[in-house]
Chain A
Amino acid sequence: MNDNLYTLLYAAVICFVCSFLLSLFAMGLKPAQERAAQLDLNRKLLDVLGLFEEGMSDEKVEEVFKNRVEELVINRAGEVQKNYKAFKEVPEKEQCELLEKGAELNTPDCKLSLFQRVENGNLKALAIPLKGKGLWSTLYGYLALQNDAATVSGITFYKHGETPGLGAEISKKWFQKNFLDKKILDEDGNLYGVVVAKAKAVNSGHPLKHSVDGISGATITANGVTRLIKHCTKMYDPYLSRFRKEE
């Protein structure tokens, strides 16, 4: 009996000490973790918007982001919503489920975030969040378009759980570079998206301005990327088409 009591007490003390110390550390590290996550998103956004320079310090990233990137929230019809704060990470609920599922148009009050690079009152580039299924995981990223709202000026993925060396190559520069100057609209102004080919883009049967080379061993991830680009750009189409009309 005494023995049991000792064992119980011993276990209780160990559990208490471990959990106490851990929660102490977790609390202490939390601000640094959140800051690191935010900074990572800001850095990725600056990168797609063409504002990032190699070797930029953390402070510099924050400063440039604050001064040169405009955060906006729009609704499904493309109207700017004044009183909402933009979400850098595609939030599951606020951003409506549309990003993932089929684009139903009957949820007019859903909110979409986007990020614009404006210089002297002129739009230089804008970035929209991307979200969609890859092979193992949901891919999160940003797609940036030039001020014609039709030409890709950058793409990045900041969160995914794809196979390193295969699907995870989507977060590598060599893959993302191929998207530059691709068109998401065809000649008639219809949404085409950018297709990630299986193997070489030249042999994919899609026009070269709408397709990029694929990654061997990562066809399903690539198909996911193709799908999510088309899907997410469609979501933002009402807003984007305003820039197209102005030209």
Chain B
Amino acid sequence: MALLKSLPKPLVDPLVENNPITIQVLGICSALAVTVQLKQAVVMSCAVIFVLIGSNFILSLLRKGLPNRIRIIVEMCVIAALVILVDQVLRAYFFELSKQLSVFVGLIITNCIVLGRAEAFALGNSPGASILDGLGNGLGYSLVLCLVGTIREIFGSGTIWGFPLILKMGEWMGLSQSLYDLGYENMGLMVLPPGAFIIIGLYIWAVNVVSGRQGE
């Protein structure tokens, strides 16, 4: 904990205490859509972290000369450019994954975390602090995404990072049959969006209980 305290506040705050998903309840849409498998969640997290850092940094640089009336338009313009860039790179070098993520990479543009952080932080702070804020919020988002992705993949598909966990578990336990033959079934609900809703709901509940935070 001492180490955590020594890190800059914009970086640490969004991890748990002011987590964009669980506390600010932003970016829920993509958290539901790309958490079926851990691998997708990780790639999506990297993409969001990159976009968040980039947009926070660029907009913080622009903040002094930015005409207030077209503020949002300029923000969207920068964010969209960064997201399209990510999409193009994925398509060139991670073809298989970009096919699986499909529209959700493009939807980072409308991810409220990105615009939210630009509005709430980058426009009022220095580029350095904005980068940290972007990284912190990106990591906070990733944390929840990967957690939900892990749970959904294990229970929904019986695998972890594509590795057939449940199938191997029988072997490890020294059973002659696999767990599936003994009647274990993957939980279909976990693969569907409601599964993510329930897990995120439970997670928010757990966080609130631990932190003693009261609902508004």
Q: What residues of chain A have their CB less than 8 Å away from a CB belonging to chain B?
A: 3, 6-7, 10-11, 14-15, 18-19, 21-22, 25-26, 29, 32-33, 36-37, 39-40, 159, 161, 164-166, 216-217
Determine how close the nearest CB of chain A comes to the CB of B67; give it in whole angstroms.
4
Bound together, the chains give a CA A15 to CA B96 distance in angstroms of: 32
Task: State the majority secondary structure of interface residues on A.
Answer: helix
Which chain A residue shows the least CB distance to B193?
A163
Say which residue of A7, A11, A22 sits within 8 Å of B81 (CB atoms): A22
- Residues of chain B within 8 A of A26, CB atoms compared: 84, 88
Question: Do B188 and A36 have beta carbons less than 8 Å apart?
Answer: no
Question: Do A164 and B100 have beta carbons less than 8 Å apart?
Answer: yes
Number of A-B residue pairs at CB separation under 8 A: 64
Say which residue of A14, A161, A217 sits within 8 Å of B74 (CB atoms): A14
Task: State the majority secondary structure of interface residues on B.
Answer: helix
Say which residue of B85, B93, B157 sits within 8 Å of A25 (CB atoms): B85
- Interface centre among A19, A21, A36, A159, by most chain B C-beta atoms within 10 angstroms, is A36
Bound together, the chains give a CA A11 to CA B70 distance in angstroms of: 8
Q: Tell me, yes or no, whether B113 is within 8 Å of chain A by CB.
A: no
Which chain A residue shows the least CB distance to B88?
A29
- Residues of chain A within 8 A of B36, CB atoms compared: 164-165
Q: What's the tally of chain B residues with a CB closer than 8 Å to chain A?
A: 30
Question: Do B70 and A36 have beta carbons less than 8 Å apart?
Answer: no
- Residues of chain B within 8 A of A22, CB atoms compared: 81, 84-85
Q: Tell me, yes or no, whether B198 is within 8 Å of chain A by CB.
A: no
- Residues of chain A within 8 A of B73, CB atoms compared: 11
| Given A40-B96, A164-B36: A33 and B91 interface contact (C-beta under 8 Å) | yes
- Residues of chain B within 8 A of A159, CB atoms compared: 99
Bound together, the chains give a CA A10 to CA B77 distance in angstroms of: 12
Determine how close the nearest CB of chain B comes to the CB of A135; give it in whole angstroms.
14
Bound together, the chains give a CA A129 to CA B154 distance in angstroms of: 34
Say which residue of A29, A36, A161, A165 sits within 8 Å of B192 (CB atoms): A165
Bound together, the chains give a CA A18 to CA B58 distance in angstroms of: 12
Question: Do B157 and A165 have beta carbons less than 8 Å apart?
Answer: yes
Question: Do A7 and B70 have beta carbons less than 8 Å apart?
Answer: yes
Q: Tell me, yes or no, whether B65 is within 8 Å of chain A by CB.
A: yes
Question: Do A7 and B91 have beta carbons less than 8 Å apart?
Answer: no
Which chain B residue shows the least CB distance to A161?
B102
Bound together, the chains give a CA A6 to CA B64 distance in angstroms of: 13
| Given A15-B77, A33-B92: A165 and B191 interface contact (C-beta under 8 Å) | yes
Determine how close the nearest CB of chain B comes to the CB of A56; give it in whole angstroms.
14
- Residues of chain B within 8 A of A18, CB atoms compared: 77-78, 80-81
Bound together, the chains give a CA A56 to CA B156 distance in angstroms of: 30
Q: Tell me, yes or no, whether B205 is within 8 Å of chain A by CB.
A: no
Determine how close the nearest CB of chain A comes to the CB of B179; give it in whole angstroms.
16
Which chain B residue shows the least CB distance to A166?
B191
